[in-house]
Structure 1
Amino acid sequence: MSKTRLAQAVAFATLGASLTLPSLAHAEFIKDSKASLELRNFYFNRDLRHTTAAQQSKREEWAQGFIFKAESGFTEGTVGFGLDAYAGLGLKLDSSDERAGTNLLPNSFGDEGPGEYSEASATLKAKISKTVLKVGGLMPKLPSVSANDSRLLPQNFLGGHLNSQEIAGLTIDAGQLKELNQRNSSDFEDLGVNSTGGIRNFKFGSNGNQGNDFNFAGLSYKWQDNLTTSYHYGQLEELYKQHIFGLVHVLPIAEKQSFKTDLRYARTTDDGRSNIDNNYFGAMFTYALSGHSLGLGYQKMSGDTGYAYLDGTDPFLVNYVQIGDFASKDETSWQARYDFNFASIGIPGLTFMTRYISGDNIDRGATLSEGKEWERDMDIGYIVQEGALKNLGVKWRNATVRSDALGELDENRLIVSYTIPLL
């Protein structure tokens, strides 16, 4: 082939920009533009130790991803306009019917799927003063909705997002999401509630866990450099409404020494076609000394159901980790975490993390005893700091899970990434 699927996707995504550039070619539009291409090589192995001989015993795949992102500046004038573009291509390097289903590729157990898949989106943006409106492809990172980027290609949405920072220290967000493209799919689909991966006790009416539009709004205020509070609202029409409160405070103790407090509370109720009813409280306390960080986390679920969030996204939970979210009905969980940044001893770019999370009191119904689970994670990563391979990153992620909700899992991920600046 003389033209790859990635090149085709980029061409479609940026067609509008290329057609309008002659009329938009103002200095700031060009000067502030940037573009990059990330090469992401991903090996994933999950040993499903709890399965029987008749079921899938392992998920193991290897794939290569190409992630193109471009952001323009804004045209001059009272209202500035700009264009962003995203395109992704995933290539299968190794898979089989028996080992499919890692979410690296668009497949499942029994069907290793196609050899490649691609996706693309474009975003029109407008700016007045310090307020920006984006319409089109979005990858929000908010407590109410946070796009997941833990596989080969990132999850993305179609919708509109308004962000305003007119008042010093105050950030306001509002918008609506219409559809989402999952991290292992090339198609946009309706929004839904994540009801898998735990004991939620969710009950839905017609259309199951699929809802309509997702509306969101929120604000955060930085009272001081070391204190921020926030409130965010999310509504998946017909299924749930959610109010999220947060507080982050960093207490300086001495040079290279601090104590961080991260408090979170969420109240989630139904929106007419579900039984969703959940109270969530989470707290994470982290003591940092030079390159060392030691954290202790606590998470508590109460109400008639577990915690609800958009399917496939990253929930705003302190104990949401590599595999589990510890968000089942009535679950209480604790986390102990340790991080070390080797830059403190003269090896910049090398980092290490390990954590252990234990959850219990899971409501598994009247006929079963209370459930328990635990997860142990370890990450070690290195990013080359200089030379010809600058920005080349290598990360190994390991996890072990023993859970009445998820079963018994052993997992390894090896990720090699390299980002090439294009502009």
Structure 2
Amino acid sequence: MKLSSKVLLAMAISSITATAYAEPASQDFVPTTLAGTSAQSEAKGFIEDFSLGGTTRNWYSHESKYRGGTFSYEKHGETRTDRNRTNWVQGTILNASSGFTQGTVGVKTEVAVYNALVLDRSKRDIKGGSNRTLADSDGNAVDQWSKLGLANVQFRVSNTTLTAGRQNFSSGIVDTIGNRALPSSFEGVSFNSEEFSNLSFQGGIFDRVSPRTEQSLSKFRSEYGNGTQETDKVSTLGVNYQPLKSLKTSFFAANVKDFWNQYYFGATHELGDTSQLGLTTGFNYYKTVDEGKKEMGEIDNDTFSLSLGLTHQAHSLTFAYQQVNGNEYFDYLHETNGIYLANSLTSDFNGPNEKSFQVAYAINMAEYGVPGLKFNAYSARGWGIDGTHYTGNNGRAKFAYDGIQSQDGEKHQEYGVGASYALQSGPLKATTVRATYVEHRGSEFQADGSIKEFRLVTTIPFNIL
């Protein structure tokens, strides 16, 4: 089960959320022209634009399984179980970034040290850690650890930047995920080109991922496979295009060597005046087909979501429908947030042939004199999960999604509430506190089971230079 940052950071109610505006969203056409300015021409210099700062995040989670579910851990050579798991980690990022050198070709460097301090070190509490608390082979917490989270060199000409090394990257298929004490990052080469006013290009080739809760680099794996399949090459290329002031679109393709080829299309359209009534429509679509050695088995999967968000002043109400057409999970890369579907919540609602529907509500208390305070609540249901037609293939990947065959008419439901507050002024300005409570209940063979979770996350940004 992958925990989407959009919900577990507490405030997103779907992958597309209506945003309040003071005037009606314009439907005017946006012509494609060359960018009016060159970012490189405004470079201040390698030392002159140097910055040193970062964030520190206090990340707490308590989970309870029910309806017979348990967590397990080893003690004195015996496997013990209970219903609860607690993880509490302080994650700190110290980022040093130079400015771009002046001239036709600008050069800059970025280095970020990631540090984790474990605040709950009980072997019984962390239950082996998983991707929450780093643990050794005996299940004991690694009390404190550090690594290079980012380390790259960037070259810029005009408005086009090439980045080589360990870096962040964001697209509908390969996206840094930040829903733990520390985020993930990727090792490779990427580019971002913004030479046109409403049209940008983006791409990259990556061979390793730096996981959220590991010290070393890893090969890429899938989120829902059995964990034995790995690949060391992910290539992606895409475009972002805004044809109307009210319409934004993006298209990305990715080749995950010997896993799959995946294609993504996303669009967001805004209509109306949110001081009266605004409508935000979001559409996300993924096409996934097997590739090369078919390490994940035979895949032919079409998955989409459609969301409609109504906003009136401080209030937003969102309806989202999602459907998986395929005999396997809609899958994506582990340690990425490469799932922009509206119903990616505590559960991703991505079972074979699954359909799901979500209703979500959010309120921004700035309209009532408390800027920075927000609340949200949602309810989602999934049904029709059918993995009985999954066959894998006749080779070693036959059981890449082992156990899926038992899912015949499975269903599940999820409820969540959240609150967040961002400080508006003072020495701790932009500090955010987020609290969420989520309850998920699954039928007998639904993959995510039945679990309750409370999270409290405090993130404090800081600047040194």
Q: TM-score, normalised by structure 2?
A: 0.79
1:83 has 2:125 as partner: no
Aligned to 1:18: none
1:108-135 CA deviation, whole Å, 9 max, x = no partner?
8961321012111311000001100011
Per-residue deviation, 1:379: 1.4
Q: 3-state SS of the aligned residue for 1:407? A: coil
Q: 3-state SS of the aligned residue for 2:366? A: helix
Tell me the distance in 2 between the aligned counterparts of 1:109 and 1:96: 15
Aligned to 1:19: none
1:124-161 CA deviation, whole Å, 9 max, x = no partner?
00000110001111121210111110011111110111
- Indicate the percent of aligned positions where both proteins have the same amino acid: 27
Q: Alpha carbons of 1:40 and 1:280: their partners in 2 closer, same or farther (altered >3 Å)?
A: same
TM-align CA RMSD = 2.0
Tell me the distance in 1 between the aligned counterparts of 2:49 and 2:313: 36
Which of residues 51, 57, 81 is equivalent to 2:69? 51
Tell me the distance in 2 between the aligned counterparts of 1:257 and 1:28: 47
**1:212–1:238 Cα contact (<8 Å) kept:** no
**2:385–2:407 Cα contact (<8 Å) kept:** no
Which of residues 31, 40, 50 is equivalent to 1:33? 50
**2:416–2:439 Cα contact (<8 Å) kept:** yes
Tell me the distance in 2 between the aligned counterparts of 1:379 and 1:70: 33
Tell me the distance in 1 between the aligned counterparts of 2:305 and 2:99: 39
Aligned to 1:245: 265
1:421 has 2:463 as partner: yes
Tell me the distance in 2 between the aligned counterparts of 1:385 and 1:52: 42
Which of residues 225, 233, 236 is equivalent to 1:216? 236
2:232 aligned partner, one-letter code: N
Which of residues 439, 456, 462 is equivalent to 1:400? 439
Q: TM-score, normalised by structure 1?
A: 0.87
Aligned to 1:22: none
2:327 aligned partner, one-letter code: D
Q: 3-state SS of the aligned residue for 2:258? A: coil
Per-residue deviation, 1:48: 1.7
Per-residue deviation, 1:67: 1.1
**2:353–2:387 Cα contact (<8 Å) kept:** no
**1:61–1:102 Cα contact (<8 Å) kept:** no
1:409 has 2:451 as partner: yes
Q: 3-state SS of the aligned residue for 2:220? A: coil
1:287-314 CA deviation, whole Å, 9 max, x = no partner?
1111111100011001231212111221
Per-residue deviation, 1:103: 2.8
**1:364–1:371 Cα contact (<8 Å) kept:** no
Aligned to 2:212: 183
Per-residue deviation, 1:380: 0.4
Tell me the distance in 2 between the aligned counterparts of 1:51 and 1:107: 22
Per-residue deviation, 1:254: 5.7
Q: Alpha carbons of 1:367 and 1:72: their partners in 2 closer, same or farther (altered >3 Å)?
A: closer
1:115 has 2:148 as partner: no
1:106 has 2:134 as partner: yes
Q: 3-state SS of the aligned residue for 1:344? A: helix
Aligned to 2:306: 283
Q: Alpha carbons of 1:84 and 1:257: their partners in 2 closer, same or farther (altered >3 Å)?
A: farther
**1:227–1:249 Cα contact (<8 Å) kept:** yes
Tell me the distance in 1 between the aligned counterparts of 2:379 and 2:137: 30
Aligned to 2:154: 125
Q: 3-state SS of the aligned residue for 1:268? A: strand
1:299 aligned partner, one-letter code: Q
**1:47–1:58 Cα contact (<8 Å) kept:** yes
1:408 aligned partner, one-letter code: S
Per-residue deviation, 1:319: 0.8
Aligned to 1:233: 253
Which of residues 341, 349, 356 is equivalent to 1:317? 341
Tell me the distance in 1 between the aligned counterparts of 2:285 and 2:54: 38
Tell me the distance in 1 between the aligned counterparts of 2:323 and 2:246: 26
Tell me the distance in 2 between the aligned counterparts of 1:374 and 1:108: 34
**Structure 2: 5+ residue stretches without partners:** 1-42, 72-79, 389-404
Tell me the distance in 2 between the aligned counterparts of 1:64 and 1:253: 42
1:118 aligned partner, one-letter code: S
Alignment of 1:292-303 (within 5 A): 292-303=315-326
Per-residue deviation, 1:280: 0.6
Q: 3-state SS of the aligned residue for 1:99? A: helix
Tell me the distance in 2 between the aligned counterparts of 1:324 and 1:306: 12
Tell me the distance in 1 between the aligned counterparts of 2:138 and 2:62: 17
Q: Alpha carbons of 1:110 and 1:373: their partners in 2 closer, same or farther (altered >3 Å)?
A: farther
Per-residue deviation, 1:236: 0.8
**1:117–1:185 Cα contact (<8 Å) kept:** no
Q: Alpha carbons of 1:378 and 1:109: their partners in 2 closer, same or farther (altered >3 Å)?
A: farther
Q: Alpha carbons of 1:389 and 1:80: their partners in 2 closer, same or farther (altered >3 Å)?
A: closer
Per-residue deviation, 1:257: 3.6
1:127 aligned partner, one-letter code: R
Q: Alpha carbons of 1:254 and 1:157: their partners in 2 closer, same or farther (altered >3 Å)?
A: closer
1:117 aligned partner, one-letter code: W
Aligned to 1:345: 368
Per-residue deviation, 1:253: 3.2
Tell me the distance in 2 between the aligned counterparts of 1:138 and 1:171: 19
Which of residues 387, 405, 410 is equivalent to 1:371? 410
Per-residue deviation, 1:362: 0.8
Tell me the distance in 1 between the aligned counterparts of 2:56 and 2:120: 17
Per-residue deviation, 1:224: 2.1
Q: 3-state SS of the aligned residue for 2:119? A: strand
User: Which sits farther off after the overlay, 36-45 or 168-177?
Assistant: 36-45
**2:438–2:452 Cα contact (<8 Å) kept:** yes
